[in-house]
Amino acid sequence: MKNKITKSSSHGNGKEHVPSKYDVNVRRNGALYFQIGLILSLGLVYGMFQISFPKNNDLAHIDLTDPYIINEPIVEEFTIEKEQQKQVKQEKPMEQVEQPNFLDDFDLKDDTDEIDEKAGEVPAVDLSKDALTFVPEVVGKEDKGELKELYDIGVVQQVPTFPGCEGLGSNEEKTACLSEKIRELIAKNFDSQEAVDFGLQGVQKIYVQFNIGKDGYVSDIKTRAPYDFLGDEAERVVKKIPQMEPGKVQGENVVVRYMVPIIFKVQ
């Protein structure tokens, strides 16, 4: 194939250009240039991955095992409840009631003067219940002969002895000690609040009769009171009396009857 001669003009040069085999053929060498560029790009990327950077040992060390404190406030779970309308109750003014005072006098002799010996009644007291028999104390008389089933405290040869009264000698001293010990026990344990709640006023009298058995325990308790709840309270308190040394007649243990009035005042 013959090379064609082309004419080309240049500025100030009127020479003709003759083609040769060394002229560049751009269309024929395009694939070669693409392959060379691809190889260079891959080599550059691979080289960047192989670059190692120096380690910086000056970074801060964080120890995750150390405890730490969060200063933020803790929000607790809560439930919002609807506010209920409160019913306001009108409270009645409380009346000031003085605490009932127990009278110091629990001597049976002083109260027997108020008892009608014929009818066995106490004024202003409802006797719907069985009437009790009250026998005044007679100290010093001894009952000789056959033993009876029941004795009054004033006629036994040896009166029942309350714990703490053993060191006393005569029956008079032991009887006075017995009366005082029972008075202290009643004054300590008798609950008069129900009488206050009931609206009672003035002096209230409750008569209690019981037996001191051959074993020294209190039994057969009977009460006489203007209201049943007062009698029940008196019976509850009398049951707290501890075991005593029983009364004796002719050296034998006997059952002794004893009566004590409970008197208190509600002001």
Query: How do the domains of the chain map onto residue ranges?
Result: 101-266
pLDDT of residue 73: 42
Q: Does pLDDT of 239 surpass 80?
A: yes
105 or 4: which leads in pLDDT: 4
SS3 content of the chain, % helix, strand, coil (to 5): 25, 20, 60
pLDDT of residue 30: 75
pLDDT of residue 90: 60
pLDDT tens digits for range 160-178? 999 999 988 899 999 999 9
* Phi, psi angle pair for 230, to nearest 5°: -70, -40
Query: Minimal CA–CA distance to 256: which of 187, 179, 140, 159?
Result: 159
pLDDT of residue 104: 43
pLDDT of residue 189: 93
Token digits for 78?
């809560």
Token digits for 76?
């607790």
Could you give the CA distance from residue 125 to residue 224 in angstroms, rounded to a whole number?
8
pLDDT tens digits for range 14-65? 556 566 665 555 555 778 888 898 899 888 888 888 876 666 555 444 444 4
pLDDT tens digits for range 212-223? 999 999 999 999
Question: Regarding beta strands 252-254 and 256-266, do their DSSP bridges make them parallel or antiparallel, or are they unpaired?
Answer: unpaired
Residue 99 binned pLDDT confidence (cut-offs 50, 70, 90): very low
pLDDT of residue 74: 40
**Share of residues in the chain with pLDDT > 90 (%):** 33
